[in-house]
Structure 1
Amino acid sequence: MADDKYNLKNPAVKRILQEVKEMQSNPSDDFMSLPLEENIFEWQFAISGPRDTEFEGGIYHGRIQLPAEYPFKPPSFMLLTPNGRFETQTKICLSISNHHPEHWQPSWSVRTALVALIAFMPTNPNGALGSLDYKKEERHALAIKSREAAPRFGTPERQKLIDEIHEYMLSKAPPVPQLSPSECSEEHPGNRESEAQESSRDAKGVSSQERLQNPAVGERITEEIQEVPANANPSPAGVRPAREVSAGGSSDHLLPPRAETRVQKPADDRLFTWAAVGLTIAILVLLLKKFMKASGHGAVFMDGS
């Protein structure tokens, strides 16, 4: 890339050229992205489908448009490969995109955004702008088809870069796994919200190395920020405090866990009974001795009178 085409004193240009060098010197098996030769503010990219999902083995191309104020303002994202999760050739709504500039951090980069995009693939779309909610088997079929050829988009220069990225990703892509019969017969993904939430927790498809290099992805980036009730604080897994249910049926009052009631064994009851009998006999013997002793002294006194 000819750096002399651009004003190297421009903060955005300096940042972009720095990211280009970093992307080339430290490539990833999970994604690839490079800017156009004639316009470094437009990037073409491809990501691999996250592992252990219906997207695994797929190659998904897209376009990133960086603003003139980058990195102080977020980029926009567009998918070009049919995938069943995001609409194609439509700017998608993510917390890392220009739809939510209030959440963007200047420390994030194109690399960070691509790692986050992979993590968003298997999550629940929740009706967000540019999102789709296809069945698993439909997404799986699209993942297989995505490997056949790169999408056709834009000028010959764009297409050349897209084809080069596709060849690179194809050389790194794992074989497409087969869905099990149970997965193929599942209902529409919209009815499996709990499963989608579970699959999003671990950001599947993102390598451990990328998570270490981009800690902000797992900690701060979230898809489509939504209103959350103030009392929506889940308890730690496996810990459920006891609740006192009032006469009206309310279960909001929390109680500490109740102490375990110890039940004595029958053997303990028999032991206690025998001890009580033994103590009673001892008392009777003692009283009898005292009575006999007192009776003996009385007899001696009467004989001596």
Structure 2
Amino acid sequence: MPPQTATTKRLLKESTELLTPSPTSLADIHATPINDNLYDWHFTIAGPPSPSVYSEGIYHGRIVLPPTYPLRPPSFRFLTPSGRFEVNREICLSISGHHEDTWQPAWGIRTALVAIRSFMDAEAAGQLGGVEASEGVRREFAQLSREWRCEVCDCGSNEEIMKEWKEKCREAGLGDGPAAEEGDDDERKDGRKEGDGESTKATNTTSEQPQAREQPHINSRPTTATSPELSTSRSDIPIQSRPSTNTMTSVQPPRTTVAPAQSSDGPWLDRAIVGVLVALVFMILRRIVNTDEVV
């Protein structure tokens, strides 16, 4: 027997969980490998609850898992006509092989099937593998789907497969009671968050747009409130500057009073200079007179 790989161990674990009724089992979802091939599964799911147009339907499909699962996502296709997905064509979802970037290895086959079940009520809108049809056509397909039989499984009609699986759940004490419904609701919520990633991103972007538009109004209010404060603070500056000019001019008069005191010494110097000059002139004249007498 060849050694088990990480992918094989993971698929064996999921197969045991999906085929053995447990508190985590969902009575509306059944999946099993085909002919002991862990990479090729068939699933049977009940339609979304009322008022969905698929509420009366039971649908059968195929899951193909890659050798690197769960690192890469599986691919899904519906084999039962539903009016929502093309028959035997791979569908494009955020949890399928068409969107490997949004797939998370923590997700499993059950989580993916819950997401597909909740995604059935969304419109195709050009989706790969999607089909546009009226509500009447989809309700008619839902009624016919209960008697649909898979030639590969050869396990009876969709209704018989689902009835047998629900009987096992009842024998295990699960039944269709509140516990099973609550678990179904929890898984459905997880499926919508995980599987319907594209639609939630679109709603988030649309909800963020009004907030982005309101931000300029919110930011504009503080600016208008602070502008009066700035204007009043600026108007106070020239009022304070006036006393400063007065103090400057009041200091100048003492300087002008000191100037006459310094200029009062000027006449004494002038008189001394004049006296020296007069003395020199007198001495020169006296000498000239003396020289004339000698001659």
TM-score range, shorter chain: 0.5 to 0.7
With over 3 angstroms needed to count, the CA separation of the structure-2 counterparts of 1:254 and 1:137, relative to structure 1, is farther
The equivalent of 1:33 in structure 2 is: 31
The offset of 1:255, in angstroms, is 6.4
User: Do the aligned residues in 2 keep the contact of 1:65 with 1:77 (CA within 8 Å)?
Assistant: yes
Q: Distance in 1 between matches of 2:121 and 2:196?
A: 13
- Paired residues of 1:95 and 1:225 also in contact (CA < 8 A): no
User: How far does residue 148 in structure 1 lie from its aligned partner after superposition?
Assistant: 1.9
- Counterparts of 1:76 and 1:252 in 2: how far apart (Å)? 43
Which residue pairs with 1:21 in the alignment? 16
- Point out where structure 1 has 5 or more consecutive residues left out of the alignment: 153-157, 174-205, 244-250, 257-305
Secondary structure of 2:10's aligned partner: helix
C-alpha displacement of 1:48: 0.5
Shift of 1:24: 1.4
Structure 1 residue 225 displacement after superposition: 6.3
Residue in 2 aligned with 1:63?
62
Query: Where does residue 4 of structure 2 map in the other structure?
Result: 9
Distance (Å, rounded) in 2 between the aligned partners of 1:21 and 1:92: 26
TM-superposed CA distance for 1:145, in Å, is: 0.7
Structure 2, unmatched stretches of 5+, are: 167-179, 220-295
Match of 2:42 in 1: 44
In the superposition, the TM-score normalised over structure 2's length comes to 0.60
SS at match of 1:20: helix
1:279-298 to structure 2, matched below 5 A, reads none
Q: Is residue 212 of structure 1 aligned with residue 206 of structure 2?
A: no
Which structure dedicates a bigger proportion of its chain to helix? 2
Q: Is the 8 A contact 2:116 2:191 kept in 1?
A: no
**1:29 CA drift (Å):** 1.9
CA deviation map 1:253-275 (0-9, x unaligned): 6469xxxxxxxxxxxxxxxxxxx
Match of residue 222 from structure 1: 196
Conserved in 2, the CA contact under 8 Å of 1:211 and 1:218?
no
Sequence identity of aligned pairs in percent? 33
Distance 1:128 1:213 in 2: 24
Q: Residues 254 and 62 (structure 1 numbering): CA distance in 2 closer, same or farther, change over 3 Å?
A: same
SS at match of 1:212: helix
Counterpart of 1:22 in structure 2: which amino acid?
E
CA gap 1:228/1:133 in 2 versus in 1, 3 angstroms: same
TM-score by length of 1: 0.58
- Distance in 2 (CA, whole Å) between partners of 1:145 and 1:22 is 30
Does structure 2 retain, via aligned residues, the 8 Å contact 1:33–1:165? no
* Equivalent residue runs for 1:120-199 within 5 Å: 120-152=119-151, 158-161=152-155, 163=156, 166-170=159-163
Q: Deviations over 1:230-274 (max 9, x none)?
A: 962259xxxx99x9xxxxxxx996469xxxxxxxxxxxxxxxxxx
Instruction: Describe the superposition over 1:1-38 as per-residue Cα deviations: whole angstroms up to 9, x where unpaired.
Output: xxx5xx45211110000001101123422110100124
Bigger-Rg structure (1/2): 2
1:229 and 1:45, CA in 2 relative to 1: closer, same or farther beyond 3 A?
A: closer
